[in-house]
């Protein structure tokens, strides 16, 4: 279960949308594919799924060249396109049957439809018309159609866009659980989404890859230059007391007994602050590391 992209270029009539994109995605990962609008995410995803051809370069899914029509690699790929186009006049089950027939699921069709209705939690909606469903449920139907042929690789183009906060959490949970068994590449604008579900990220900007690595590593690397720690004590303190901690370079009061402590130290200094509180008989009631967030990293890479 893998996706390999080598030096892919895509020209639309007048415009170069991808300029030599290369990356690899291995199995059992949920990989966030990030980039500002127009960066080329949808274009890359359509090429991986075989919907449109690249101008040059190679894409392999599970070791098979996607352009090689002799092996139907599309059976290995599930795709939820941007805006999740569905036939709104069809009933949920009817639609899933329609998709199952495209993949020739034959005798196993009914069983597979039942399984997916259960996995995606659309039991109560299964006999409704797609047009009458809420956006969150339509998204689940979209995921069900992408999974119906049990593909090993799943390409999801902005799967939570337009959903309300509760729906977003549920769809994320679903994607996370699907990601344990499959290779998932998902595009999104939402950085918390990436931090919540993606082990790896690939950031593209203007058709080029600008970052590729484990989410934790990318955050840690740019955090190397220090961090801020938000602390709250029961006691009312004077700011000078914090300078007893040699790792602290700046102190700001955030109201009442809450303080923002800055350090240039690249290590986590929370244990040091904790020991300081104990040694000085202070009651520490909250402590939160405010490192550089992915949001900032994304902005600096895609300016
Ligand atoms: P993203 O998904 O990151 O927003 P897209 O892949 O949709 O980016 O688009 C990348 C660039 O290619 C954009 O500048 C867009 O206008 C252009 N583009 C996308 N699809 C087409 C198309 N069918 N014809 C011409 N240009 C296109």
pLDDT digits (tens, 9 = 90+) for 221-280: 765 567 788 999 999 999 899 999 999 988 888 889 999 898 888 788 899 999 999 999
- The C-alpha atoms of residue 66 and residue 150 are separated, in whole angstroms, by 18
Q: Which of the four pLDDT bands, split at 50, 70 and 90, describes residue 4?
A: very high
221 versus 283: the higher-pLDDT residue is: 283
Over 70: is that where the pLDDT of 291 sits? no
Q: Which of the four pLDDT bands, split at 50, 70 and 90, describes residue 54?
A: very high
Strand partners, 31: 185, 200
The whole-chain average pLDDT of the chain stands at 89
Domain spans, the chain: 3-221, 224-301
- The C-alpha atoms of residue 5 and residue 136 are separated, in whole angstroms, by 31
Q: Count CB neighbours of 166 within 10 A.
A: 9
**Model confidence over 192-202: pLDDT tens digits?**
788 888 999 99
Q: Is 42 in the pocket of ligand 1 (CB under 6 A)?
A: yes
Over 90: is that where the pLDDT of 16 sits? yes
CATH topology agreement for domains 3-221 and 224-301: no
Percent of the chain's residues with pLDDT above 90: 53
| Mean pLDDT value across residues 32-38 | 92
- The C-alpha atoms of residue 285 and residue 144 are separated, in whole angstroms, by 45
- The C-alpha atoms of residue 57 and residue 71 are separated, in whole angstroms, by 19
> CATH number of the domain at 3-221, please?
3.40.50.300
What is the pLDDT at residue 80?
Answer: 93
Asked if 185 and 155 count as a contact pair (C-beta separation under 8 A), the reply is: yes
What is the pLDDT at residue 297?
Answer: 79
Instruction: Walk across the sheet containing 200-205 and list its strands.
Output: 77-80, 153-157, 183-188, 30-34, 200-205, 208-214
Q: Which of the four pLDDT bands, split at 50, 70 and 90, describes residue 283?
A: very high
In angstroms, what is the span from residue 61 Cα to ligand 1's centroid?
22
Structure tokens at 178: 């699907």
What is the pLDDT at residue 56?
Answer: 96
Structure tokens at 151: 């593909």
Over 80: is that where the pLDDT of 292 sits? no
Q: Supply angle C-alpha 186, 189, 195, rounded to 5.
A: 70
Over 80: is that where the pLDDT of 71 sits? no
Asked if 76 and 62 count as a contact pair (C-beta separation under 8 A), the reply is: yes
Strand partners, 294: none
Structure tokens at 229: 């720690």
Which atom of ligand 1 is the closest one to the Cα of 13?
A: 25
- The C-alpha atoms of residue 121 and residue 242 are separated, in whole angstroms, by 51
In angstroms, what is the span from residue 211 Cα to ligand 1's centroid?
20
Which atom of ligand 1 is the closest one to the Cα of 39?
A: 3
DSSP state of 31: E
| Mean pLDDT value across residues 147-174 | 88
Q: Is 39 in the pocket of ligand 1 (CB under 6 A)?
A: yes
Pocket test residue of 9, 12, 44, 208 for ligand 1, highest count of atoms within 8 A of CB = 12
- The C-alpha atoms of residue 161 and residue 176 are separated, in whole angstroms, by 16
**Model confidence over 83-136: pLDDT tens digits?**
888 899 999 999 999 999 988 888 999 999 999 998 888 899 999 999 999 888
- The C-alpha atoms of residue 22 and residue 160 are separated, in whole angstroms, by 26
List alpha helices for 77-229, DSSP H.
92-102, 109-119, 135-147, 165-179, 191-197, 215-223
Q: Supply angle C-alpha 36, 41, 44, rounded to 5.
A: 155
Percent of the chain's residues with pLDDT above 70: 96
Query: Which of the residue ranges 51-60, 207-216, 220-229 would you say has the lowest mean pLDDT?
Result: 220-229
**CATH domain 224-301 topology:** Alpha-Beta Plaits (3.30.70)
What is the pLDDT at residue 154?
Answer: 94
Q: Which of the four pLDDT bands, split at 50, 70 and 90, describes residue 9?
A: very high
What is the pLDDT at residue 268?
Answer: 84
- The C-alpha atoms of residue 99 and residue 145 are separated, in whole angstroms, by 6
Q: Is 207 in the pocket of ligand 1 (CB under 6 A)?
A: no
């Amino acid at each position: 279960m893998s996706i390999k992209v080598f030096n892919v270029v895509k020209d639309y009539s007048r415009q170069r949308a991808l300029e030599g994109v290369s990356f690899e995605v291995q199995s059992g990962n949920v990989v966030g594919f990030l980039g500002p609008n127009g960066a080329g995410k949808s274009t890359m995803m359509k090429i991986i799924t075989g919907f449109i051809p690249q101008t040059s370069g190679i894409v392999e899914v599970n070791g098979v060249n996607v352009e090689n029509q002799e092996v139907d690699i599309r059976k290995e790929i599930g795709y939820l396109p941007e805006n999740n186009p569905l036939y709104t006049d069809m009933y949920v089950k009817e639609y899933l049957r329609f998709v199952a027939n495209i993949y020739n699921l034959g005798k196993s069709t009914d069983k597979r439809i039942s399984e997916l209705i259960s996995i995606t939690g659309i039991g109560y909606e299964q006999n409704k018309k797609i047009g009458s469903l809420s956006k969150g449920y339509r998204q689940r139907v979209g995921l069900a159609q992408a999974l119906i042929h049990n593909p090993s690789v799943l390409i999801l183009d902005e799967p939570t866009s337009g959903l309300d906060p509760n729906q977003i959490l549920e769809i994320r949970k679903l994607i996370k659980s699907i990601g344990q068994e499959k290779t998932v590449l998902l595009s999104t604008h939402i950085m918390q989404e990436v931090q919540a579900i993606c082990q790896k990220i690939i950031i593209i900007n203007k058709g080029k890859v600008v970052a590729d690595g484990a989410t934790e590593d990318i955050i840690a690397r740019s955090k190397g230059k220090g961090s801020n720690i938000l602390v709250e004590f029961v006691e009312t303190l004077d700011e000078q007391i914090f300078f007893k901690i040699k790792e602290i370079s700046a102190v700001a009061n955030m109201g009442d007994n809450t303080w923002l402590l800055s350090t240039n130290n690249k290590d986590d200094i929370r244990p040091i602050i904790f020991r300081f509180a104990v040694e000085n008989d202070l009651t520490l009631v909250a402590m939160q590391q405010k490192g550089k967030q992915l949001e900032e990293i994304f902005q600096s890479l895609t300016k």
